[in-house]
Amino acid sequence: MAWRNLWRNKKRTLITAASLYFAVVFAIIMRSMQLGTYDIMIDGAVKSYSGYIQVQDSLYFEEKSFDDLMVYDSTLDSIISTVPNVISALPRLETFSLASTGKKTKGVIVQGIRPESDDLMTGMSRHLQAGEFINSDDRSILVSNRLASYLRVSVGDTVVLISQGYQGATAADQFPIKGIVKIPSPLLDNKLIVMPLALAQEFTNAYDLVTSVAVNIQEKQNMESVWGDVSEKLKDTHLQVLRWTDMDKALKQQIESDDASGVIMLAILYMVIFFGILGTIIMMTSERLREFGVMAAVGMHRSRMAIMMFLETVFIGLLGLIAGSITAIPIIAYYLDHPIRLGGDMAEAYEIYGVEPVMAFSADPMIFVNQFITVLVLMLITLIYPVLKLAKLNIINALRG
């Protein structure tokens, strides 16, 4: 009966469902684009560089002194690697240096890694622009793409690095370039030099020492559980375990503020849609008072009439939700494989914040689930009016009307 009632006034039903349809399509696509862009931002700054979780000396994060290094051995590797959802432990040695070639000089970040295992997390070898990827036995380096352009160097050229080594030692040497690699984060692409860990330890006189251990996890959703497990295992040591949100608070705040503005926009959209639907429900209830009076007069309980109104409202909501989702899914599926690359002023604005100028999309199922919950809650709220109207229904007055 509820389904048949909807089509007694087809235009009204279709207009109400259409308003929900456009709201759902816009909300799903907008939310997918937001979350997808956040993933690009996080992967560019986190997955391709620091990792979601790092283990450091308790003094290093605050002071960033090269003297606050930690010993990395098989015992620490075993402790971290045996934690559930951990793929591997990746030792890193990182320092700041002055890079020079010809008349060009620039301050850079020098990062020593174990290339073979590190590449499984960062995928750096897939971003090679020229040359070859380094291996653990190399005495050569990788230079980030924009840094190479600034220094005007290419594969086979030599870069001179001058830095401070461990415990005040002077670090200075020259290194041939084996490859040019594009780092997803524009900020890092301007200043990153990567070399084998053993070579970095020799360069800085920091043998068997590292600045941090990046924890390579299976899925980013496992970050909190892995962080808790590793923290528990290392709680009685001088080491601390940090999440990317602890290490890069600026990026975290940027994402949170943008996410909040997106939620506010969706709230405004749904608020407008809500009042439109509420107006339709009020009009529909007023037009059917006589019908409700007849039903009540022949013995139909008011609770059953309320259930009928509930089903009618749910059917309208489902029409808009299902149609909107069916429209949004192929759009999202296309842009998952074809992210929108920005150019011009917009790209420059992104790069100022160290973010790759790309608008990607996310296929997170919770995007659809949240829209379903939101719409159904709004539809339930609109039921308050007809339920109250039915509760106060005067059968005689309704029949006269």
Q: What is the DSSP string of 108-153?
A: EEEEEE-HHHHHHHH-GGGGEEEE----TT-S-EEEEHHHHHHHT-
pLDDT tier at 141, thresholds 50, 70, 90? very high
d(CA 133, CA 179) in angstroms, rounded, equals 6
Q: Per mean pLDDT, which range of 47-61, 80-94, 348-362 is the poorest?
A: 348-362
pLDDT attached to residue 129: 93
pLDDT attached to residue 35: 87
Instruction: Express each pLDDT in 338-353 by its tens digit.
Output: 888 877 777 776 666 6
- Please give the span between the terminal C-alpha atoms of the chain, in angstroms, as a whole number: 23
pLDDT tier at 140, thresholds 50, 70, 90? very high
Q: 180: which strand partners?
A: 130, 143
Q: Mutual orientation of helices 249-287 and 10-42 as an angle, nearest 10°?
A: 170
Give the number of other Cβ atoms within 10 Å of residue 19's Cβ: 17
User: Phi and psi for 90 in degrees, rounded to 5?
Assistant: -120, 100
* 293 against 227, higher pLDDT: 227
Instruction: Express each pLDDT in 207-266 by its tens digit.
Output: 889 999 999 888 888 889 999 999 999 988 889 999 988 888 877 887 888 888 888 888
What tokens does 138 get? 């190399």
d(CA 42, CA 249) in angstroms, rounded, equals 12
| Mean pLDDT of all residues in 185-201 | 91
Q: Is there a contact between 393 and 293 (Cβ–Cβ < 8 Å)? A: yes
What ranges do the domains of the chain cover?
A: 2-45+251-400, 59-237
pLDDT above 70 (res 133): yes
pTM of the full structure:
0.71
| Mean pLDDT of all residues in 18-40 | 86
pLDDT attached to residue 357: 75
User: Which has the closest alpha carbon to 309: 208, 192, 393?
Assistant: 393
| Mean pLDDT of all residues in 352-364 | 76
